[in-house]
Amino acid sequence: MVKSKGKIFIADTDQKSVVLIKDALKAQGYSIYSAINGAKALETIIEQLPDIIILGMQLPIIDTVKLRDIISVNPKTDNLALIFMGTPEQLKSVSAMGEKVITKPFRIDALIGTISGIYQKRQKTIELSRENKEIEGNLSQISLIDLLQIFSMNKKDGTITIYSDKGNGFIYLQEGNIINATFEKVEGVKAFYRLLTVKNGKFEFIPHRALTPTRIAATTESLLMEGMRQIDEMKKNKDVLPPLDAVVKLKKKLSELPKQVRTITQEVLLLLEFYNKVEDIVDNCTFPDYDVLRVLVALLEKGIIEIVQHVTPKTSDREGTLLANEEIFKLLDIVSINKHTKLESHRGRVVVLSANYNSLKTFVNSINNTPRFVLNSSFAVSGSRDDVVFGEIGLVSLTELLSIEIISVPPLIEYGPLWMALSSSAVGVIVVFDKGSKEILGAFLSAIQKFRSAKTLPVTYVFVTPDGHDEKAKVIPTLKKLLTSDSDDPIFVLNKDSTDSLNIIPTLLRKVINL
């Protein structure tokens, strides 16, 4: 006796369609059951528990939608696969709910293909539900949504890697919950929603304890529901949303706009300082794509921004730029501790520890031509060769809303209370010293330790040589040993011939961003 490939049930008033389907599926090796009304259909379904149920849209006695509802709430039948069959008009209500449908007149090979796909998914579900092991497959056989639901139900730990022509992404699971996702250069919920749009590609699951920061706190079910809603809304409103290749610009200065706006609106407005292409704003905003596009629509309607035909692109290569656009934006996020006040002016602070006036003067002269740096005039004329200088050296103005104050603080023990007071507002420390600094090396190391213990701050070292005779390659290893410096702490050697002094501040700020 030949073993049946599976049980399929058909209920439809159109007997010609029923006979055609029964003959074709029997030839494929399936066991077929049928009925001509909803009451008989329900009785047979509960008795036989078929793998797949095909329902016509005009069943008498118990109508099709009512029958679907009964099946979906019965614990014995709620997991059975349903296919609805009818004309496009009849199928509108169930199509909108994401159900599988077959449109009349139908092709029998298309129906067989749909049924085969359901069985393939069922087999993959069985495989995925087994004990932890590496699994790979094709998203055409089982969708990412189904995959995640299976892993959620089975409380899996591990990483799903998605390979597609849109790019590669990762979804990290902990006890079945999605704790993070990355896709190209984005992370978190934004990346997860983008991955949900991938329909074709391959996946690979590796069971392990995912070593990733938790960026997503919502349940898998709520994530999937909201993600699918956003994808659906994006499709429905595509004629209203600005196209990704559109160019927009602010019609007002940020300082003129209301400060009390939603965090996402603040972020979009700030990005308009750096980017004018919709696609760049959407990519660099931390919020989901659809939410960003809706904010842009609102700003367009209020006349705060406008779509323009020709505009010079904002790039990080324009003259006078210290950091790239995305770097400045990240730095602003670090400096503005209160995420609800990003549209206000913010000032970060870099503390300079220098043992004497001469070495500090060499350092200040070396950074004086740094883009966007303005020397404090009172600091420029203060001090003498014997003074230890305390005060603001100057200001680096990165944008209308973000500046970095460079402030000198002596590394002497008596200034210790100031170290603690300044550490809360500091973003980094520059240590300026020379050969004569060995006498107070202990004070230097104490100051650095105080700043690092109060707050994790990156440190950059600047060693001042008198005549340029010391070779950098020889000096740096000695300095690292002397300072017991971490291997990735940058060290600059300054003298009259130095050419890399303009990199001191941007190097430190990039350490701040990547800390």
SS3 sequence of 10-44: EECCCHHHHHHHHHHHHHCCCEEEEECCHHHHHHH
| Mean local confidence (pLDDT), 159-180 | 92
What are the φ/ψ torsions at residue 172 (nearest 5 degrees)? -105, 130
User: Residue 465 — very low, low, confident or very high, per pLDDT cuts 50/70/90?
Assistant: confident
Taking residues 105-120, report their average pLDDT.
84
Q: How far apart are CA 170 and CA 192, in angstroms?
A: 9
Tell me which of 103-112, 123-132, 425-434 is least confident: 123-132
Work out the pLDDT band at 240, boundaries 50, 70, 90: very high
Give the residue extent of every domain in the chain: 7-121, 130-236, 247-316, 345-514
The CATH homologous superfamily of the domain defined by 345-514: P-loop containing nucleotide triphosphate hydrolases (3.40.50.300)
- Who wins on pLDDT, 495 or 224? 224
- Interval 353-359 mean pLDDT: 81
Q: Of 128, 55, 123, 135, which Cα lies nearest the Cα of 93?
A: 55
**Residue 486 DSSP symbol:** -
* 511 vs 476 pLDDT, higher one: 511
For residue 469, the model assigns a pLDDT of: 54
pTM score above 0.75: no
Provide the token pair at 409. 């603080």
**pLDDT at residue 112, as a whole number:** 87
Q: What average pLDDT does the structure give for the chain?
A: 82
Of 470 and 330, the structure prediction assigns the larger pLDDT to 330
Instruction: For residue 385, give both structure tokens.
Output: 């060769």
Give the total residue count for the chain: 515
Q: Is 244 exposed, middle or buried (0-12, 13-18, 19+ CB in 10 A)?
A: middle
pLDDT of residue 97: 60
> Would you state the pLDDT for residue 487?
59
Would you state the pLDDT for residue 454? 62
* Mean local confidence (pLDDT), 4-32: 89
Structure tokens at 11: 């209920």
Burial (Cβ within 10 Å: 0-12, 13-18, ≥19) of residue 471: exposed
pLDDT at 317: 43
Flag the least confident range among 231-240, 252-261, 332-341: 332-341
CA angle centred on 476, ends 475 and 482, rounded to 5°? 95
Is residue 122 over pLDDT 80?
A: no
Task: Identify whether the C-beta of residue 10 lies closer than 8 Å to the C-beta of residue 34.
Answer: yes
Look at residue 189 in the predicted model and tell me its pLDDT: 95
- Mean pLDDT throughout 115-133? 70
What pLDDT is attached to residue 1? 44
385 compared with 370, residue with greater pLDDT: 370
Cα separation, 260 vs 251, in Å, equals 19
Query: Phi then psi for 222, rounded to 5 degrees?
Result: -70, -35
Extract the tokens encoding 330.
């990240």
Do the domains 7-121 and 345-514 sit in the same CATH topology, yes or no? yes
Q: What is the CATH number of domain 7-121?
A: 3.40.50.2300
- Over range 241-250, report the average pLDDT: 91
Confidence of residue 133 (pLDDT cuts 50, 70, 90): low
- Cα separation of 234 and 514, whole Å? 33
355 sits in which H/E element: none
170, 128, 133, 123: which is closest to 150 by C-alpha?
Answer: 128
- Write down the pLDDT at residue 109: 85
Residues sharing a CB contact under 8 Å with residue 8, sequence separation 6 or more, in sequence order:
25, 30, 31, 32, 33, 50, 51, 52, 53, 54, 115
DSSP-derived 3-state class of residue 381: helix
* Exposed e or buried b per residue across 44-58, where buried means at least 16 C-beta atoms within 10 angstroms of its C-beta: bbeeeebbbbbbbbe
pLDDT band at 380 (very low <50, low <70, confident <90, very high): low
Q: Can you give the three-state secondary structure of 458-478, one letter per residue? A: CEEEEEECCCCCCCHHHHHHH
pLDDT at 127: 63
Q: Which stretch of DSSP H or E encloses residue 56?
A: strand 52-56
* Residue 57 per-residue DSSP state: S
Asked if the bond preceding 477 is cis, omega within 30° of 0, the reply is no
Residue 10 confidence (pLDDT) above 80: yes
Yes or no: say if 444 and 386 are a contact pair by the CB < 8 Å rule.
no
pLDDT at residue 36 is higher than 50: yes
The b/e string for 322-345 (b: 16+ C-beta within 10 A; e otherwise) is bbbbbbbbbbbbebbeeeeebbee
Higher pLDDT, 21 or 315: 21
The number of C-alpha atoms within 13 Å of 31 and in the hemisphere containing its C-beta is 10
Least confident range from 4-18, 155-169, 254-268, 395-409: namely 254-268
The whole-number pLDDT of residue 34 equals: 92
| Side chain identity at residue 185, one-letter code | K
**Regarding predicted confidence, which is higher, 80 or 448?**
80
Q: Which amino acid is it at 117?
A: G
Q: Which helix (H) or strand (E) holds 349?
A: strand 346-354
Does residue 215 register a pLDDT over 60? Answer: yes
Distance CA 228, CA 466 (A): 65
3-state secondary structure of 225: helix
- In this structure, are residues 491 and 433 in contact, taking their beta carbons and an 8 Å threshold? no
What is the SS3 assignment for 129?
A: coil
Whether the predicted pLDDT of 316 surpasses 60: no
Taking only the tens place, the pLDDT of each residue in 487-506 is: 578 888 887 666 667 788 88
Distance (Å, rounded) from C-alpha 457 to C-alpha 427? 6
Distance, CA of 126 to CA of 123 (rounded, Å): 5
Structure tokens, 508: 């430190």
Cβ contact 428:458 at 8 Å: yes
Helical (H) or strand (E) element with 223: helix 220-236
247-316: CATH topology:
Arc Repressor Mutant, subunit A (1.10.10)
Reported as a single tens digit per residue, the pLDDT across 270-312 is: 888 778 899 999 998 889 999 999 999 999 999 999 988 765 5
Two tokens at 317?
A: 């290569």
Task: Return the pLDDT at 279.
Answer: 92
- For the cut 70, the answer to whether the pLDDT of residue 339 exceeds it is no
